Amino acid sequence: MTETGVRSQSIEIRDGAELPSALATGVPEERRGLWNVERDFWAPRTVLVSGDGGVVAAALTAGRPHTAYRKIVDVVARDTRAFRAAVEAAVADAPADRDGSRPAPLVVKFEEHPSLAPLDAEREAELAALGFERAADPVPSVPSTRPEDPARTRSWEKWLGAAPAYTVPYYGQTTDVTCGAVTAMMAFEAEGLARFGADGADNQTHELDFWRRATNLPACEPIGLAVAAAHEIEESGLPLRRPRVILSTEQPVLLEEWADEPFELRLREQLQADSLRQAAALGVEIERRWAEVSEIRDLVASGADVFLLIALEPLIDDSSPHWVLAHDVIGDALIVSDPWVEAEHGESWVDTSALPIPLAGIDLITRWGDPAYRGVVVVPRA
């Protein structure tokens, strides 16, 4: 617990989420629910601002481990001055953990909940005065991205140094298995594919269509994903070069769950062998080696979109393989857009778009299997 002064008010920081009863009175139950979500893995912290009359504002912050961001989930304040003090203190309270699992942030994000706590003009002006800017709206997909959904959120961002120079339209995967397809499509949308519509009506249709072309039931393994990406780039005339794959094993991958089911295993091995034949026919280069994270950083910095096969467990405590898109670099951190939103534990697209992950975190998460292998798909921009 720490305490300091901000504009003659006292600031107290507490671990965990705690909306004081003095402020909770009059706050609708749906909004109080933001403070009751189980998000311990995201290290919630409460910023309390007190004046002569007691507590006048509270801010709740959280963030994924191994990532360099912090999200302000909600600010309950008696007035605009108290709101500003709480936001200022939340920005300042962003220390790195000693064990390195929570690096010092490169960005602080303010999550606005239009259906629960829309910002008025005064509070928007305060955010702007503190250096926050509204992020571009996402593509309608998961609930937090859809304008008509009560779970919709908006993102305000304060980059504490350089901001990303290259961003992509954010789309959240709407199924458990389409992460590889969505990773590719976000990269393609940034280069003019224009399949996703602002009304969201046919977006899932396009998501599932690409997944069907890329999947080897149900996973999108690196070579199959690269083959589907190569077809899309050629057929759509996108300004992207042919994908290439860097995969650190000669064996088929993402087959761990079929180890005790020989017929299912054999089918998927045959599908991956077919993807390998297609890759050769298309001229998709496959390098069988371990890609160091410094090389991945340099590839992204040189102007490539890189699809990363990762383990989700270090990020959200979910033991699943997954795909994310690395599309920019700031210092020694990759800027990643992650299709998966862990809404059950309080995440929205605010957490998963333009997410900075330092190279130490990238090195940790880009390992799957036992023994571990690393797979990336590199798509250079023309």
Contact by Cβ (8 Å): 300, 327: yes
Give the residue from 80, 114, 134 where a domain finishes.
Answer: 134
Torsion of CA 122, 125, 126, 132, to 10 degrees: 140
Please determine, for residue 97, whether its predicted confidence score (pLDDT) is greater than 80: no
How do residues 248-305 score in pLDDT, each as one tens digit? 999 999 999 999 999 999 999 999 999 999 999 999 999 999 999 999 999 999 999 9
In whole angstroms, give the CA distance from residue 333 to residue 361.
Answer: 9
Are 212 and 88 in a shared domain?
Answer: no
Measured CA to CA in angstroms, residue 280 lies from 80, 217, 285, 287, 373 at distances of 62, 21, 8, 12, 22
How do residues 138-193 score in pLDDT, each as one tens digit? 999 999 999 999 999 999 999 999 999 999 999 999 999 999 999 999 999 999 99
Measured CA to CA in angstroms, residue 147 lies from 143, 151, 198, 278, 322 at distances of 9, 9, 10, 40, 27
What contacts 300, CB < 8 A, 6 or more positions away?
306, 326, 327, 328, 329, 334
* CATH, residue 90: 3.40.630
- State residue 8's pLDDT score: 67
pTM for this predicted structure: 0.95
Confidence of residue 4 (pLDDT cuts 50, 70, 90): very low
Range 75-99 average pLDDT: 88
- State residue 74's pLDDT score: 98
Domain span at 317: 179-380
Are 125 and 193 in a shared domain?
Answer: no
Confidence of residue 95 (pLDDT cuts 50, 70, 90): low
Domain annotation covers residue 373? yes
How do residues 106-137 score in pLDDT, each as one tens digit? 999 999 999 999 999 999 999 999 999 999 99
Domain annotation covers residue 338? yes
Please determine, for residue 6, whether its predicted confidence score (pLDDT) is greater than 60: no
Confidence of residue 98 (pLDDT cuts 50, 70, 90): low
Please determine, for residue 5, whether its predicted confidence score (pLDDT) is greater than 50: no
Are 129 and 231 in a shared domain?
Answer: no
Nearest to 332 by CA among 68, 42, 62: 68
Are 315 and 208 in a shared domain?
Answer: yes
Strand-pairing partners, residue 376, are: 246, 308
335 compared with 102, residue with greater pLDDT? 335
How many structural domains is the chain composed of? 2
State the CB neighbour count (10 A cutoff) for residue 255. 18
Nearest to 327 by CA among 171, 190, 124, 133: 190
Are 236 and 364 in a shared domain?
Answer: yes
Domain annotation covers residue 93? yes
Domain annotation covers residue 159? no
Domain annotation covers residue 167? no
- State residue 67's pLDDT score: 97
Confidence of residue 53 (pLDDT cuts 50, 70, 90): confident
Range 350-374 average pLDDT: 97
Measured CA to CA in angstroms, residue 322 lies from 36, 121, 290 at distances of 28, 40, 18
In whole angstroms, give the CA distance from residue 93 to residue 87.
Answer: 10
Are 22 and 121 in a shared domain?
Answer: yes
Are 247 and 123 in a shared domain?
Answer: no
In whole angstroms, give the CA distance from residue 331 to residue 362.
Answer: 14
Domain annotation covers residue 122? yes
Domain annotation covers residue 241? yes
Confidence of residue 102 (pLDDT cuts 50, 70, 90): confident
Contact by Cβ (8 Å): 59, 46: yes
Cα 371 to chain centroid distance, Å, stands at 27
Are 105 and 207 in a shared domain?
Answer: no
Are 86 and 199 in a shared domain?
Answer: no
Please determine, for residue 357, whether its predicted confidence score (pLDDT) is greater than 70: yes
Domain annotation covers residue 153? no
Are 7 and 98 in a shared domain?
Answer: yes
- State residue 3's pLDDT score: 39
Are 322 and 198 in a shared domain?
Answer: yes
Query: What is the pLDDT of the chain when averaged over all its residues?
Result: 95
